[in-house]
A and B are shown apart, each in its own frame.
Chain A
Amino acid sequence: MTKNRKQQRKQATLLVLLATGMFGFAFALVPLYEIFCEVTGFNGRTFGQTTASVEQFSQVVGREVTIEFVAHVGRGMPWEFRPTESRLRVRTGEVSETKFYARNYANKLVTGQAVPSVTPGAASLSLHKIECFCFTQQQLEAGEEVEMPVLFYVDDDLPADIGTLSLSYTLYPVPDAQVVTLDDDVRGSPTPILEHSEEHSGS
């Protein structure tokens, strides 16, 4: 009987551990999902700054595709925010630049964070951003307006059936507590990479 009790206790403990493990697994699903998205392009999430150098890709210039730009502001964000051009014809492998216009019409300093999304999802793997205002928080003084550059290229491995892709940014307000002070140049003063890209796109 006591042996039986011990065994029961052991089993019950194992089952409690299993349940605890599954509780942890629910949380583990979040990073797992992110990795999964990063690998498959699921849900059109894009992931940060590309690490590859521009030269590496801009050698091969491939077919022409259309890229559309879309901008939204989140609720409570007193900014006007829109792409300066709604679409661009680009060649795969070629670095291009576009700008988004933003204006803070509130009468106080406001910080925002742009969240990018790409559709179709599979295209998000092929869209690489070299420079983007979405990598950091953006701060605008009352009434200040700014044009924010995005420097990107569409990789040649873009699935053949995709002719049009859309890059969307949603700009959300950042609560005051979380504001990180930014260097001025993150708002996109031209960088050496930009000059490179202009060379290539010009050729």
Chain B
Amino acid sequence: MIAHADTIPPARHPLVSFILRWVLTTNHKEIGTLYLCLSFALFLIGGLMAMVFRAELAQPGLQFMTADFYNQLLTLHGLVMVFGAVMPAFVGLANWMIPMMIGAPDMALPRLNNFSFWILPFAFFLLLSSLFMEGGAPNFGWTLYAPLSTTYGPPSTDFLIFGIHLMGISSILGAINIIVTIFNLRAPGMTLMKMPLFVWTWLITAFLLIMAMPVLAGVVTMMLTDRHFGTSFFEASGGGDPLIFQHVFWFFGHPEVYIMILPGFGIASQIIPTFARKPLFGYASMVYATVAIAGLSFVVWGHHMFATGMPLAAELFFMYATMLIAVPTGVKVFNWVATMWRGSMTFETPMLFAIGFVVMFTIGGFSGLMLAIAPVDFQYHDTFFVVAHLHYVLYPGAIFATMAAVYYWLPKWTGNMYDERLGKIHFWSAVIGLNLTFFPMHFVGLAGMPRRIVDYALPYAGLNLFATLGAWILGLTQLLFLYIVIKTIRGGEKATDQVWESAEGLEWTVPSPAPHHTFDTPPRVE
């Protein structure tokens, strides 16, 4: 029924059949690999952009680029990282692991799976090609605020809009696939409350995706019609309101933040028990906390807009709702610490990354709580303090979590152990780079440096140089990571099926490397 890649006759040129195998594959593991490779490539591109504009920001004055090009880079950096690096990486992990974790032979809708992946390269081709267009790439920040993006946006904005439509379709189809898989293909005996937390967090994330991404698609469609078809959703002159854009965008935008973090929560909840050799503390409360965070994420969008002139009642509502998010998030952190408590811990690279995630994500959570306090937000808003906050949440929450997951499952994927010594070097250099980049941003923000400026006043100079150094260190560590992964794929100490002595879950019951097809007959879960 499903045209499997294996069934292609071998009479072709090896290169053709290699390409066809990957283009036509419907195997969840291969699609997972494709997602992970694409997201890593885009991660490097987005990171390179950040390194370039950080170089510009190392010193006051204009060194390497025009102000307009700086704006283009920071816009593309945001879009590429959010939609190109973080989200596809999580979808890739979901593709690889969810069927193996729930004892399913594959994703429920394999051809759809292939389709939702192959949309992505085109989406990013559209987006990145805008750099080479006349008038330059979009230059109004990843938040696309109207009217800067509508009336004043460069011609390439339309490519961005179509790119976002494609990314949205890809994410939504991917999310549908994940939900259907989880609902239908669990092994007999695996009730919902027995599912691994990675699967749980992804289930909730998938619902967030289905509810949030169409709203983004809607708002960029309005941008498109405002630009070309005479509507004025965001134009005061035609009876619209630029703030409608912000309301609709952040109605998507805040759930999006949790889309980029919940799977990371799931990953930490898989890894910490394994290396603490102790079951996860408070499994049920973890699930409920995730649901609570996801639910709250739809009613806090106004906290991005405190300075737009909201009435007091609305400011109070959004402030209280936002502060409330700290409770379930706190529960999660406490649960992870309690999981470690009186365990018997070892600190292999996945565990290091997971602990790094918990610590630094919590720092980002603290600054998030501070930002939630509306009166003080008037001073924080749109300064580098916000940049520091969001990177402390996203870098550990999404990137560290993904790295932890890759180290954790890489032996299962490749059958080889990664180089533990290099892994540890990677971890510590990433920690140093990350903190050197983003910690000083708190201070320059508090001292008064606005975000998204190409040039700054002299008092902010020293700390910005630190941030630039950190950004370059952080950038270079990615090459080490690439080297480690390639080295592991090519060989190394053979991994056992179990890989980690006290890892639990169905994925560890299949051989290492995981064969092309797993769980053709569903396992029984006690």
> Which residue of chain A lies nearest to B249 when distances are taken between CB atoms in the complex?
A26
Query: Given A40-B313, A172-B236, is A15 in contact with B215 using a C-beta cutoff of 8 Å?
Result: no
User: Are A11 and B184 neighbours in the complex by a CB distance under 8 Å?
Assistant: yes
- List the A side residues contacting B237 at CB < 8 Å: 74, 113, 115, 170, 172-173
Shortest Cβ distance from residue A57 to the other chain B in the assembled complex, whole angstroms: 24
> Which residue of chain B lies nearest to A74 when distances are taken between CB atoms in the complex?
B237
Q: How far is the CA of A146 from the CA of B184 in the complex (A)?
A: 72
User: Are B176 and A16 neighbours in the complex by a CB distance under 8 Å?
Assistant: yes
Interface stretch, picked from B86-94, B239-247, B343-351, B438-446, is B239-247
Name the contact of B184 in the complex, choosing from A7, A16, A20 (C-beta under 8 A). Answer: A7
User: Are B211 and A22 neighbours in the complex by a CB distance under 8 Å?
Assistant: yes
Q: How far is the CA of A15 from the CA of B116 in the complex (A)?
A: 15
- List the B side residues contacting A7 at CB < 8 Å: 184
Query: Given A11-B179, A29-B247, A122-B311, is A23 in contact with B218 using a C-beta cutoff of 8 Å?
Result: yes
Q: How far is the CA of A11 from the CA of B222 in the complex (A)?
A: 29
Closest 10 CB pairs of A and B: A26-B218, A172-B237, A23-B214, A22-B214, A26-B215, A15-B176, A19-B214, A121-B311, A19-B172, A115-B236
- Bits for A1-21, please: 1 = Cβ < 8 Å to B, else 0: 000100110011001101111
Is residue A41 within 8 Å, beta carbon to beta carbon, of the partner chain? yes
Q: How far is the CA of A192 from the CA of B172 in the complex (A)?
A: 59
- Bits for B107-125, please: 1 = Cβ < 8 Å to A, else 0: 0110010000000000000
- Bits for A113-136, please: 1 = Cβ < 8 Å to B, else 0: 101000111100000000000000
Known: A19-B214, A30-B244. 20 other contacts (CB 8 A): A11-B184, A12-B176, A15-B175, A15-B176, A18-B210, A19-B210, A22-B210, A22-B214, A23-B214, A26-B214, A26-B218, A29-B251, A33-B247, A42-B310, A42-B314, A115-B239, A119-B309, A170-B236, A170-B237, A172-B237
Name the contact of B219 in the complex, choosing from A24, A26, A44 (C-beta under 8 A). Answer: A26
Is residue B483 within 8 Å, beta carbon to beta carbon, of the partner chain? no
Is residue B140 within 8 Å, beta carbon to beta carbon, of the partner chain? no
- Bits for B315-344, please: 1 = Cβ < 8 Å to A, else 0: 000000000000000000000000000000
Is residue B164 within 8 Å, beta carbon to beta carbon, of the partner chain? no
- List the A side residues contacting B215 at CB < 8 Å: 22-23, 25-26, 29
Shortest Cβ distance from residue B316 to the other chain A in the assembled complex, whole angstroms: 13
- List the B side residues contacting A25 at CB < 8 Å: 214-215, 218
User: Are B213 and A19 neighbours in the complex by a CB distance under 8 Å?
Assistant: yes
User: Are B218 and A8 neighbours in the complex by a CB distance under 8 Å?
Assistant: no
Query: What are 19 contact pairs spanning A and B, CB under 8 A?
Result: A4-B184, A11-B179, A11-B183, A11-B184, A12-B109, A15-B175, A15-B180, A21-B214, A22-B211, A23-B214, A24-B218, A26-B216, A26-B217, A26-B252, A40-B311, A44-B309, A121-B310, A170-B236, A173-B237
User: Are B248 and A29 neighbours in the complex by a CB distance under 8 Å?
Assistant: yes
> Which residue of chain B lies nearest to A29 when distances are taken between CB atoms in the complex?
B248
User: Are A43 and B309 neighbours in the complex by a CB distance under 8 Å?
Assistant: yes
Shortest Cβ distance from residue B418 to the other chain A in the assembled complex, whole angstroms: 36
Shortest Cβ distance from residue B522 to the other chain A in the assembled complex, whole angstroms: 12
> Which residue of chain A lies nearest to B209 when distances are taken between CB atoms in the complex?
A19
Query: Given A8-B109, A74-B237, is A27 in contact with B244 using a C-beta cutoff of 8 Å?
Result: no
User: Are B309 and A121 neighbours in the complex by a CB distance under 8 Å?
Assistant: yes
User: Are B251 and A15 neighbours in the complex by a CB distance under 8 Å?
Assistant: no
Which residues of chain A from 117 to 176 have any CB-CB distance to chain B below 8 Å in the complex? 119-122, 170, 172-173
- List the A side residues contacting B248 at CB < 8 Å: 26, 29-30
- List the B side residues contacting A113 at CB < 8 Å: 237
Q: Which of B112, B218, B237, B241 has the most CB of A within 10 A?
A: B237
